[in-house]
Amino acid sequence: MTLSDLAEEDAPAAAPARLETLDLIRGVAVLGILAINIAGFAGPMIGTTTPTLLHPVSPLDEAAWAFSFLFFEGKMRALFTLLFGAGLVLFHERAEAAGRDGDQIQLRRLGWLLLLGIAHYLLLWWGDILFLYAACGIAALLMRPLSDRMLLWIALALYYAWHIWGMFDAATAIDAEHAVRDHVATTEQLRLLAARLQPMYDWAAQEVHEARLGWLDLLRVKLIERPFWQIQMISGSFSETLPLMLIGMALYRAGLFDGTLRRKRLIEVSLACTFAGMALTLMFLGWAWPRHFPAVAMQAALVWGLAMPHVLGGVGYAGLLVLAAPRIAPTWLGRRLIAAGRMAFSNYIATSLLMTFVFYGWGLGLYGQVPPARQWLFVLGGWALMLAWSPVWLRHFRRGPLEWLWRSLVEHRLLNNKPLNNRMA
């Protein structure tokens, strides 16, 4: 979804082939995103923040949720966003090499992505990221001419200013939650915690009600009651998403994604970032798990407090995958991951279609009934489907179905989707 290359018929003969490393990383990212999104699909939404607010869960469920939290939460979102930023630079380079206006084509691409994101939200799932990525992508595109150093300074300043401010804003409520748990809360702290928690309970109840509606009724709710939901998502996520895109742009130009960065340096950066990200996450997990993931503290941590391990983990994962790609790519699994990455947009939307059918009332209606441990059965099933159908599709077609649609919309014509080896010279 995040890195759509310039079509080969528009590229000069000397243009480089598709970077398989990027496709492989993208394949890993789109699979990893499902491991986090599954809690939102299975519902209610608060399950993405804590598994214990609405009702007690088993130790196995807490362990399954903690596993996802350690290895996937925040890190996969960061990896996905870094890739999107890298993709903005890659696409521009290939467009310019083909003698076209890279910025103009990018703006068309992002404009259509905005519209496709609106359709995804209205027709399938509230958790759409296409609209957010398109909006932040337009802002990132305006800053593309800046130097790598300037991009990193802007990104880090915006990223950490927003996250630090958020933690200070949440500190009083977190302290109240601790006091209530320790039975030393004042009346004011009890009132403050209730004011924080009650909207979570109310929203969860509304979600359960809406998830039981038919497809047309749910569409009507979105159109009438929450038509600006995606604008709200931008206001809450802009200061995370845009900085990560800018970092991705700088990392691509520095040679991280295409392997031109010195191997010794790449190993050092990858291991250091991965270890640091995991260590910081484990430290927080060691505090939160024995306390059964308190809702207010978890919300503050996921939105603001874990900014450092998230970006470190995303960069570390990217570097490790670049290092591993030459060995993984030729294998059975590697070829399927590359295919899944080439069709990441189609896989992302297909996942929404499949999972909303499984959990929502217009399908199997399992919403709110599948605890965290059993959610992993659906994650593994989704992974298997993506790895199975992607290479089969690409044997017969050049692009995934939505990649083809998106590109055709940008080009204002229906593109030939036959694979190159099936076309006459």
What the block records as the tokens of 392 is 């089969």
Cβ–Cβ under 8 Å, residues 229 and 219: no
DSSP track, 126-167: TT--HHHHHHHHHHHHHTTTS-HHHHHHHHHHHHHHHHHHHH
Q: Provide the pLDDT for residue 258.
A: 77
Specify the DSSP class assigned to residue 182.
T
The per-residue pLDDT for range 208-218, each reduced to its tens digit, is: 999 999 999 99
Check pLDDT > 50 for residue 237: yes
The percent of residues above 90 in pLDDT, for the chain, comes to 87
What the block records as the tokens of 173 is 């409520």
Q: What band does 421 get if pLDDT is binned at 50, 70 and 90? A: low
Check pLDDT > 80 for residue 419: yes
Q: Provide the pLDDT for residue 2.
A: 40
Of 64-78, 226-240, 248-262, give the range with the top mean pLDDT.
64-78
State mean pLDDT over 266-273: 96
Considering only CA atoms, give the Rg of the chain: 22
Cβ–Cβ under 8 Å, residues 364 and 421: no
Q: Which residue type is seen at 141?
A: L
In a domain, 1, yes or no: no
Cβ–Cβ under 8 Å, residues 165 and 116: no
| Euclidean distance between CA atoms 238 and 242, whole angstroms | 6
**Nearest to residue 246, comparing CAs of 155, 147, 341?**
155
Range of the domain at 363: 8-422
In a domain, 366, yes or no: yes
What the block records as the tokens of 394 is 């690409």
State mean pLDDT over 175-203: 95
Q: What band does 28 get if pLDDT is binned at 50, 70 and 90? A: very high
The per-residue pLDDT for range 384-409, each reduced to its tens digit, is: 999 999 999 999 999 999 999 999 99
| Euclidean distance between CA atoms 37 and 120, whole angstroms | 15
Cβ–Cβ under 8 Å, residues 313 and 273: yes
Check pLDDT > 80 for residue 327: yes
Q: Provide the pLDDT for residue 18.
A: 46
In a domain, 2, yes or no: no
| Euclidean distance between CA atoms 174 and 188, whole angstroms | 13
Cβ–Cβ under 8 Å, residues 343 and 400: yes
The per-residue pLDDT for range 125-150, each reduced to its tens digit, is: 999 999 999 999 999 999 999 999 99
pTM of the model: 0.92
In this structure, of 15-19, 91-95, 313-317, the range with the lowest mean pLDDT score is 15-19
Q: Provide the pLDDT for residue 236.
A: 83
In a domain, 274, yes or no: yes
In a domain, 344, yes or no: yes
Q: Provide the pLDDT for residue 12.
A: 34
In a domain, 3, yes or no: no
Check pLDDT > 60 for residue 337: yes
Structural domains in the chain (count): 1
**Nearest to residue 211, comparing CAs of 47, 65, 378?**
47
State mean pLDDT over 141-165: 94
In a domain, 249, yes or no: yes
Check pLDDT > 90 for residue 293: yes
Q: Provide the pLDDT for residue 384.
A: 98
Higher pLDDT, 335 or 1: 335
Q: Provide the pLDDT for residue 300.
A: 95
Q: Provide the pLDDT for residue 23.
A: 94
In a domain, 33, yes or no: yes
Q: Provide the pLDDT for residue 14.
A: 29
State mean pLDDT over 48-69: 96
